[in-house]
A and B are shown apart, each in its own frame.
Chain A
Amino acid sequence: MNGIHDLGGMHGLGPIIREENEPVFHAPWEGRAFGLFAATFVFAGYTVDEFRHEIEKMGHAEYLEHSYYEHWLVAFEQVLEKRGFVTAEERAKRMAELEKGVH
């Protein structure tokens, strides 16, 4: 698809920002998100191609404004929901519980 992910040759995206002594993960949640890839891949039966396509389908502004591991989160939520492992309702319920301090 001709999505925002297909960036080659585009102008106006700003400077390349580098970070000295960059950590592998910038926050603990990035490490958990990274680990979820292999952990879900082995049971959920999706392909890397499908995973990438879920990211490509993100809204253009949303794609540019969110980080790499946030893109992964979108893909996890979609592939796990499609296969019935974790529904949107389950996520919403758990989110509300976590926000209230349960769990």
Chain B
Amino acid sequence: MPTHAKEADPALRVKVLESILTEKGLIDPKALDALVDTFEHKIGPRNGARVVAKAWVDPAYRQRLLTDGTAAIKELGYSGLQGEDMVVLENTDEVHNMVVCTLCSCYPWPTLGLPPVWYKSAPYRARVVADPRGVLAEFGVTIPETTEVRVWDTTAELRYLVLPKRPEGTDGLSEEQLAALVTRDSMIGVGVLAAAA
């Protein structure tokens, strides 16, 4: 590889590839537009929030979700790329689950969209396996000593979604209102949901 290519502006390097591949008839730039639009506007953590809210209000769904995450998530219309084989981890008073991919940046796209930069960053990937409680503290989360912190390193092709604990004081809320309370970070396991005011 010529040295200057590595040092070049990444925007130019992408343009180099896109323009050559388009000229050769190997790609259709409109397909790239469609992919960008899909992940900017249609797929994101709101999908996962709907899964979580449904699991909170529907015990039979919750059971299906914990037994076969892929199938239960597909019931709500979410499936596919980087969520082909889903596992759902339920946070309880006994166990706090959290997810990382130390080797690259594997993440459940159909339910959470594309990962934030911090999730893909070296500091998170390096530290969360050895010092999960220290990382949680940086996110403002304290888990009691009596609760087991369970870190899941996504080293193969399973993708993990955390089912956070339902916040207290939310008994009267609708499924839609509950979904609005669910944060992306709570579904990675680096956040917990505060009790409703």
Contacts and interface: CB of A to CB of B under 8 A. Distances in A.
Interface of A: 5-11, 13-19, 22, 24-29, 31-36, 38-40, 43, 52, 55, 62, 64, 67-70, 73-74, 76-77, 80-81, 85-86, 88, 90-92, 94-95, 98-99, 103
Interface in B1-56: 1-2, 4-6, 8, 10-21, 24, 26-28, 31-33, 35-36, 39-40, 44
Contacts of B153: 8
Contact of B118 (A6, A17, A85): A17
A39 B123 contact: no
A13 B138 CA distance: 15
A13 B123 contact: yes
B10 A29 contact: yes
A6 B123 contact: no
B17 A27 contact: no
Contact of A91 (B20, B40, B118): B20
27 contacts: A5-B103, A7-B122, A9-B129, A9-B130, A13-B126, A16-B123, A16-B124, A17-B123, A22-B117, A28-B11, A29-B10, A29-B15, A31-B36, A32-B18, A35-B36, A36-B18, A43-B27, A55-B104, A77-B1, A80-B17, A86-B20, A86-B21, A91-B2, A91-B5, A92-B5, A95-B16, A98-B15
Given A14-B122, A85-B26, A95-B13, 12 more contacts: A8-B129, A8-B153, A10-B122, A24-B39, A28-B11, A29-B15, A39-B35, A52-B103, A70-B10, A73-B14, A91-B17, A103-B19
Contacts of B133: none
A88 B2 contact: yes
A94 B16 contact: yes
The DSSP consensus for interface residues of chain A is: helix
Contacts of B31: 35, 38-39
The DSSP consensus for interface residues of chain B is: helix
B96 interface: no
A19 to B, nearest CB: 6
Given A38-B81, A88-B1, A91-B5, A18 B118 contact: yes
Interface of B: 1-2, 4-6, 8, 10-21, 24, 26-28, 31-33, 35-36, 39-40, 44, 81, 102-105, 113-114, 116-118, 120-127, 129-130, 135, 138, 153
Which residue, B11, B104, B116, has most C-beta atoms of chain A within 10 A? B104
A7 B104 CA distance: 9
Nearest to A4: B122
